[in-house]
């Protein structure tokens, strides 16, 4: 019976804009609020006929942009701690045009990993490689994943 209740409510939104009953906040069962976040994350990171898939980081950005509006922010924060936006060994290009690989993910800042720089912005290989902690360098962001 609980699963049917969750299925009924998972399109309700935290601010009351959802359906089928326009429930708001705590009136939505906690499990339905969890499923709502997982459902939207899955939809965003899956390819659709009308659009390309979002990267995990783009999907998380969308969810957080709607935290405490469409989604319960406390649950969203817990959900995000279990998502690997940039898993260790992911090759990335930074906003500085440097290329590197993720070596560590911060549990409290999953979108700001430590990157081992392999190529400088001009394409020259780095010898020896060095690391940049994006949590400490807020002016640098990950531009793309390879």
Q: Are 86 and 104 in contact (CB under 8 A)?
A: no
pLDDT at 78: 92
Domain interval for residue 103 = 91-145
Let me know whether 64 and 111 are in one domain.
Answer: no
Let me know whether 7 and 74 are in one domain.
Answer: yes
Let me know whether 101 and 31 are in one domain.
Answer: no
pTM: 0.76
- Measured distance CA(60)–CA(74) in Å, rounded: 14
Strand (E) or helix (H) holding 63: helix 56-65
Let me know whether 96 and 76 are in one domain.
Answer: no
Domain count, the chain: 2
Q: Residue 127: exposed, middle, or buried by beta-carbon count in 10 A (0-12, 13-18, 19+)? A: exposed
What are the pLDDT digits (tens) for 87-141? 999 999 999 999 999 999 998 888 899 999 999 999 999 999 999 999 999 999 9
Reply yes or no on whether the pLDDT at 64 is more than 90.
yes
CA 103 from chain centre, in angstroms, equals 18
Parallel/antiparallel/unpaired status of strands 91-94 and 109-119: unpaired
The structure tokens listed for 57 are 């980081």
């Amino acid at each position: 019976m609980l699963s049917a209740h969750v299925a009924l409510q998972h399109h309700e939104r935290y601010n009351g804009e959802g359906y089928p009953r326009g429930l708001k906040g705590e009136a939505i069962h906690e499990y339905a609020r969890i499923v709502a976040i997982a459902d939207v994350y899955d939809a965003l990171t899956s390819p659709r006929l009308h659009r390309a898939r979002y990267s995990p980081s783009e999907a998380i950005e969308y969810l957080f942009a709607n935290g405490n509006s469409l989604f319960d922010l406390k649950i969203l924060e817990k959900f995000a701690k279990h998502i690997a936006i940039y898993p260790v060994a992911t090759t990335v290009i930074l906003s500085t045009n440097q290329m590197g690989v993720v070596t560590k993910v911060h549990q409290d800042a999953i979108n700001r990993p430590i990157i081992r720089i392999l190529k400088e912005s001009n394409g020259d290989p780095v010898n020896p490689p060095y690391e940049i902690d994006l949590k400490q360098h807020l002016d640098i962001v990950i531009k793309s994943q390879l």
